[in-house]
A and B are shown apart, each in its own frame.
Chain A
Amino acid sequence: MGKKNLFSLLVLGIMVMILPLVISNPYYLSILIFVGIYSLITIGLSLLMGYAGQISLGQAAFFGIGAYTSGILSTKFSLSPWLALIIAIFVTGGIAFLIGTPALRLKGHYLAMATLAFGQIIFIILNEEIAYTGGPSGFGQIPYFKLGNFVFNSDFRYYYFVWSIVLVVLIFSLNLIHSRVGRALRSIHGSEIAANVLGVNTAKYKIQVFVLSAIYASIAGTLYAHFVTFLSPGTFSFSFSIALLTMVVIGGMDSIWGAIMGTALLTILLEFLRIFHDYDILIYGGVLLLIMIFLPEGVFKGLFNLIYKGNFPKNRLIKKSLESRR
């Protein structure tokens, strides 16, 4: 996994442990829980975008399928949230496989459009299937997660629950990038034809990453459902897919750490900009456009590059990655 990542993991782990002890305001704690939940989705999206060179404009739909599947199963069919979590993973993964297989055989924009269309279909279904989803007004009273007699019913408990899952997913993803699969993925991003010639089954890897990113989103959805305990379609609209995309782009597409930082930055920013609630799409649009034109490496790496250009010893590596991009 590399020394740098281990060090970063350690820092993140300690920060995650200490933060709730420092922050006593329950409102801030709940924001951090959302940051954790959304990070799960953006880690997957960054794997898909940064490493497989593909894009999904319907990630909110997978988030929604995870949330509604486990929400409905645990509320209307009285299943344990744990079992509902597993079933939701299989449902979401299966659907992602069906969508991804045809779309990924074609060039990049087909997956973009297929996922965009898919997101809209799911949004329509959530609104129309009133018997199960409660329609536009949604449904509530979703039970909490339970471990024996220990109920995850406070923000404090749920915070540690969510962030331990984030850390596990993070470690798994970092290992994945530095494995055979990860190298294969980067080769796809570099040149799909060259990768194919070298014997990498590019289609298979792309589908696997797409399904994995959908599964991450599904887990996030389940965590969301059993935290907020109420679901309505508005949360899973197209504009949330765009929000997720913006988070990944802010952090720099090819960095999982960037995805988490971008998620934290945008989630917290939007909480403070609540007054502009309706106009958040203007913010996403502006941010996306500016970053893609001026800082395609992401805000953190991009600014870092601008400041240290030329005299920083490590920027040889960064330059190299810039060159390989062209």
Chain B
Amino acid sequence: MSLGNQLLQYLFTGITIGSIYGMVALGFNIIYNSTGIINLAQGEFVMLGGMITIFLTTVVKLPLFLSFFLSVLLVTLIGAIFERLAIHPLKSPSVITLIIITIAGSILFKGGAMFLWGKETFTLPSFSGEKPIFVLGAIILPQTLWILGIMGGVVLLLIFFFSFTRAGKAMKACAVNRRAANLVGINVKLMVLFSFALSAAIGAVAGIIITPIALMDYDRGTMLAIKGFCAAVLGGLGSNAGAVIAGFLIGITESLGAGFISSGYKDAIALVVLLAVLFFRPGGILGNKEHT
């Protein structure tokens, strides 16, 4: 393989994994916008989406399509229940309380998954065969197209939801100013519940579509959460367009770094990017509402 081919191959891999980071970042943004909370359990939704689909297809033996929707539904429900049980009862909690609560939720989900499915790594069959497509000497797996397509669909749906539906516009209002939203009659507490459900759903979708390529085990959530957060911060916390772009950037950087520098340090690359962003551009590349 020539250097050009290699470069192209890493680029494809980076875009694939980057779209997952972008989706995790979207999940962070949705909750952050309506509540100001950074939900550290975001990565667990991704893990649960993958694991539940694997369980439904291999143990319950449901068709993949049905498992997909059932799994997203279940994780959405888990997200909503988590909000009701752990976030809702708190009265004006401090940032530190929220961090501890969401991290506690995260390790509970992780522990629960380990309890149910053990420590093995599982996989799913690709959605439409494994036959690779050759583009300029580089390989694209059909699953990559599925991932990009579904991610595009999710983004379009989100744009539609936030611009044209009543619930979406209400959530957007909460993001602008919670108190003002409350004053014009929006049920802010309900919007918080919605935002958790929605971001759990997006996380679950990301987890399901990446599993055929990246496999899944109970311990994936934390790293996915950190990388997703990295994308969210790089794109400017709260900015959805920024999240998607930054997701791709991080995915590509990671893939190039793993290919040309060291595969052992693959996971460290995104983390170094995160620390560097905090150091030099805490507002992200596309600007940010919150600086200090």
Query: How far, in whole Å, are A108 and B111 apart by their CA atoms in the complex?
Result: 26
For A326, the closest partner residue in chain B by CB is B92
In the bound complex, residues from chain B placing their C-beta under 8 Å from that of A53 are 94-96
Given contacts A102-B282, A238-B222, contact A286 B265 (CB under 8 A): no
Name the CB-closest residue of A to B276. A102
Using A120-B226, A282-B111, A282-B115 as known contacts, say yes or no to A293 and B282 having CB atoms under 8 A apart: no
Interface size class of A (residues with CB under 8 A): 35 or more
Q: How far is the CB of B90 from chain A (nearest CB, A)?
A: 7
Interface set, chain A 80-134, CB cutoff 8 A to B: 99, 102-103, 105-110, 112-114, 116-118, 120-121, 124-125, 127-128
In angstroms, Cα B92 to Cα A106, docked, is: 20
Give chain A nearest CB distance to B103 CB in angstroms: 7
Interface size, B (range): 35 or more
Q: B272 at interface (Cβ–Cβ under 8 A)?
A: yes
Residues in chain B near residue A118, CB distance under 8 A: 271, 275
Pick the residue among B89, B107, B119, B230 that contacts A285 (CB under 8 A). Answer: B107
B:213-244 near A, CB below 8 Å: 222-223, 226, 229-230, 233
**CB atoms of A107 and B226 under 8 A apart:** no
Min CB gap B232→A, angstroms: 10
User: Cβ of A124 and Cβ of B264 under 8 Å apart?
Assistant: yes
Given contacts A106-B282, A113-B38, A116-B226, contact A121 B99 (CB under 8 A): no
A-B contact count (CB 8 A): 128
Smallest CB gap from B106: residue in A: A285
Query: Main SS of chain B's interface residues?
Result: helix
One digit per residue, 1 when the CB lies within 8 angstroms of any chain A CB and 0 when it does not, for chain B 264-292 equals 11011001101100110010000000111
| Interface pair B115/A279, CB less than 8 Å apart | yes
Q: Is the CB of A124 within 8 A of B265?
A: yes
A128–B265 Cα gap in the complex (Å)? 8
> Is B178's CB within 8 Å of the partner chain A?
no
Q: How far is the CA of A125 from the CA of B90 in the complex (A)?
A: 38
**Contact: A108 with B99, CB < 8 Å?**
yes
Q: Is B114 an interface residue (CB 8 A)?
A: yes
A242 to B40, CA, bound (A): 13
A173 to B105, CA, bound (A): 32
In angstroms, Cα B106 to Cα A284, docked, is 11
A289-B104, A292-B101 in contact; A117/B115 too (CB < 8 A)?
no
Most buried by B among A109, A114, A118, A120: A109
The chain B residue sitting closest to A128, CB to CB, is B264
**Docked CA distance A253–B97 (Å):** 10
| Residues of chain B within 8 A of A125, CB atoms compared | 268
Within 8 A of B (CB), among A277-321: 278-279, 281-282, 284-286, 288-289, 292-293, 296
Report Cα–Cα, A160/B90, bound state, in Å: 43
A35-53 CB contacts (< 8 Å) to partner B: 49, 53
4 closest cross-chain pairs (CB), A and B: A285-B108, A282-B111, A108-B95, A288-B104
